[in-house]
Amino acid sequence: MKRYILFTIATIALLSPMVLFSARVNFFPDVHVADWFYPYVEEIREWGVINGNDDGTFAPERNINRAEFSKMLALYDQRVDEKIATSTQDVVSQIDNTPSVMHLEKFNDIPADCPSGWIEANYGINWKEGGANSYIRTCYTDQACQTMHLELFSELPPNCPQGWVEADFGEKWRQSGNKKFSRTCYICR
């Protein structure tokens, strides 16, 4: 009996890859799993961008006309927009449950304190170069917030967008006479 069970298990183990491989549905008889373009054809077929010819083939060697290309492009664009909307909703739902982090950094000066409601996680020298220091302060909050760093070389960055709060502003970096200015902004729900 033990031999029969072992034989059955061994047979299933040997044949299962073949079963899985043969279970792959090939929607177009002229597109084979071994073709380099197979995964791309299958993806755009699943997205509804293509559905093949009237005879059920894909005809990979056939040229397409402008109307067919325009339709495929429009359908693809619509599908990408749907995916972006879905992924954006996923990100927004993750933001609600993720602590927000902000880095305030200044060159040869101490960065601003963490904003009200934010907790200081770290403060110290970020890097040293020839007697000059870059200081960094890391702050976090359990609130659902977004941060933005506006940075420009040799000129002041724009103000924070309307509705955003400025957390810190100043010179972030200097080397060989070049300066980099940074403005850190945040917004919370």
Tokens of 47: 């997205």
Dihedral over Cα of 23, 28, 34, 39: its sign: negative
| pLDDT over 70 (residue 104) | yes
Secondary element (H or E) of residue 138: strand 132-141
The whole model's pTM is what?
A: 0.43
| pLDDT over 60 (residue 18) | no
Tokens of 118: 């934010």
Q: Model confidence over 23-40: pLDDT tens digits? A: 456 789 999 888 888 888
Q: Model confidence over 120-153: pLDDT tens digits? A: 887 777 666 666 677 888 888 888 888 888 877 7
